[in-house]
Amino acid sequence: MNHHAFNTYCRTFKATTHVVQWGNSEVWKVGGKVFAIGSRSKAGTPAYTFKTSPLNFEFLCQAEGYIPAPYLASRGMKWIQQTGTSGSLDDDLKYYLSESYRIVALGLSKRKRQELGIADIN
């Protein structure tokens, strides 16, 4: 996946906003809360960061092509960065981005979800 495909996919989720911040990172939010970040790894390759469940975090920390997200995971947050972007992981990335969106959206208040038109998310 490249940044254009990443942005196109993240744009499909309801009530999202996009900003470029933190050194040209593509940052996607729902209700003002980050759910996905597209950036470059230290090696200069595309890297995509997302929030996970505790179980997926433990699994992905051991999986090839994924690392605990720099900065976020070191602070105890369950965020993973996909660094292997060979194309074979694109379907996996889409799944984890949709789960990140769901996790973050569910963390919003019921009132905020209603305001955003995503009250039915579960």
In angstroms, the Cα distances linking 95 to 88, 90, 102 are: 13, 9, 11
pLDDT at 101: 97
Cβ atoms < 10 Å from Cβ of 122: 6
pLDDT attached to residue 86? 65
pLDDT for position 88 = 58
Q: How far apart are CA 78 and CA 74, in angstroms?
A: 9
Domains of the chain and CATH, by start: 3-116 (3.90.1150.30)
Q: What is the pLDDT along the chain (122 residues), one digit of tens a residue?
A: 888 999 999 999 999 999 999 888 999 999 999 999 999 877 788 899 999 999 999 999 999 889 999 878 777 789 999 987 666 568 899 999 999 999 999 999 999 999 999 998 87
pLDDT at residue 72 in the model: 81
